[in-house]
Amino acid sequence: MPLVIHTIPAFQDNYLWLFHQAGQRAAFVVDPGDAQPVLNCLKEHDLELAGILITHHHPDHTGGIKALVASNDVPVYGPDSANIPQISHRLYEGDCINLADTQFSVLEIPGHTLDHIAFTASPEGETPLVFCGDTLFAAGCGRLFEGSAEQMYQSLQKLSALPDTTRIYCAHEYTLSNLAFATVVEPSNQALQHKLAADEKKRQQGLPTVPTTLAIERETNPFLRCHLAALALAASQHSARELSNPIEVLREIRLWKDTF
């Protein structure tokens, strides 16, 4: 049976993801920053919470854990982080867990925070997917709040090594602002122009722009393109010094985006 994934909007621009096997009531939620939208979704679809997955410690990803576990005695899977005391199952690079008849593998992807992890899966006969929190966004990446540009670059390389068809389930609706920046960095990229037009239509219709796919991100996401000459040129022009190392390019583009 296919894996069913529900999109739960929360706060101003967060997405919480609730998944379960078709025909089964046991459901798992990713990064529940707010408990009430999760409870509403469970009730609407006649599901029972069976577990919680956490990618990192920021409150908009963890704020609902306490209320959810108070009414549901379920495991909480997440990184080995002192900032998330509710974690019952601490996970590390290469660990595997079986949830909703699906095997998920864990990637450690620091940069946005030091404790950040992702959950990736390749269900048999289905499109591969990854829940990547705030590390990789559609046309963007997370701010470097705790980690370094080198850590973020290596984390994005791990995600970029996943299959082209991988669906990217990130945690925020940042796509239009990310694309606006990306088109300034790489104005001649036609794929960017097409994606911007398509995603503007989605938002006008009230639709989410995610999940995206890794193939699309490789064509349109500047933070996955730091090895290319066009990105090095843009970063060099912005910093007024020659940059060629992709880590230095990423650092400069991330700093540029921070003040865009």
Spatial contact of 169 and 5, defined as CB atoms under 8 Å apart: yes
> Out of 31, 34, 57, 58, which one is annotated catalytic?
58
Active-site residue, from 31, 34, 60, 199: 60
Among 57, 61, 116, 199, the one annotated catalytic:
61
13 belongs to the catalytic site: no
Instruction: Mark whether 6 is an active-site residue.
Output: no
Mode of pairing for the β-strands spanning 212-213 and 167-170: antiparallel
Candidates 31, 34, 56, 199; catalytic one: 56
User: Is 112 one of the catalytic residues?
Assistant: yes
Give the DSSP letter of residue 222. Answer: G
Of 175, 171, 186, the closest CA to residue 226 belongs to 186
- 257 contacts 181 by C-beta, under 8 angstroms: yes
Beta bridge partners of residue 117, listed in sequence order: 108
- State the amino acid at position 187 in one-letter form: P
Name the active-site residue from 112, 115, 116, 199: 112
Active site residue 60: yes
DSSP type of residue 102:
E
- List own/partner pairs for 228-234 with CB under 8 A and 24 or more apart: 230/186, 230/188, 230/189, 231/185, 231/186, 234/185, 234/186
Contacts of 145 (CB under 8 A, 6+ apart): 112, 113
Give me the catalytic one of 34, 115, 134, 199: 134
Q: Is 177 strand, coil or helix?
A: helix
44 Cβ contact partners less than 8 Å away, ≥ 6 residues apart: none
Annotated catalytic residue 238: no
* Cβ atoms of residues 77 and 97 within 8 Å: yes
List active site positions. 56, 58, 60-61, 112, 134, 172
